[in-house]
Amino acid sequence: MSEHKVVLITGAAHRIGATTARLLHEQGMNIVLHYRHSREAAEQLQLELEHQRADSVVLAQADLHHTNELRQLAKQAAQVWGRLDVLINNASTFYPTPVESASIAQWDDLMGSNVKAPFFLSQAAAPYLQEQQGCIVNIVDIHAERPLRNFPLYSMAKASLGMMTKALAAELGPEIRVNGVAPGAILWPENLEDEDKEKIISRTFLKRRGSPDDIAKAILYLIRDADYMTGQILAVDGGRSLNS
Q: What is the pLDDT of residue 209?
A: 81
Helix (H) or strand (E) holding 215: helix 212-224
For residue 241, the 8-state DSSP code is G
User: 185: which residues sit within 8 A by CB, 6+ positions away?
Assistant: 200, 201, 204, 209, 210, 237, 238, 240
Phi/psi for 162 (5° steps) reads -65, -45
Q: Residue 222, exposed/middle/buried by CB under 10 A (0-12, 13-18, 19+)?
A: buried
Phi/psi for 137 (5° steps) reads -125, 120
Could you tell me the mean pLDDT of each successive run of 10 residues in the chain, 244 residues long?
82 96 98 96 98 97 97 98 98 95 98 98 98 98 92 97 98 98 78 72 83 96 98 93 75
Is domain 6-242 annotated with CATH 3.40.50.720? Answer: yes
Tell me the HSE value of 219 on the side-chain side, using a 13 A CA sphere.
32
The vertex-36 CA angle with 135 and 127, nearest 5°, equals 30
Residue 95 bears catalytic tag: no
Dump the DSSP string for 70-89. HHHHHHHHHHHSS---EEEE
* Catalytically annotated residue among 35, 95, 128, 154: 154
Q: What is the pLDDT of residue 190?
A: 62
Cβ atoms of 216 and 16 closer than 8 Å? yes
Q: What is the pLDDT of residue 244?
A: 58
Whole-angstrom Cα distance, residue 85 to residue 78?
9
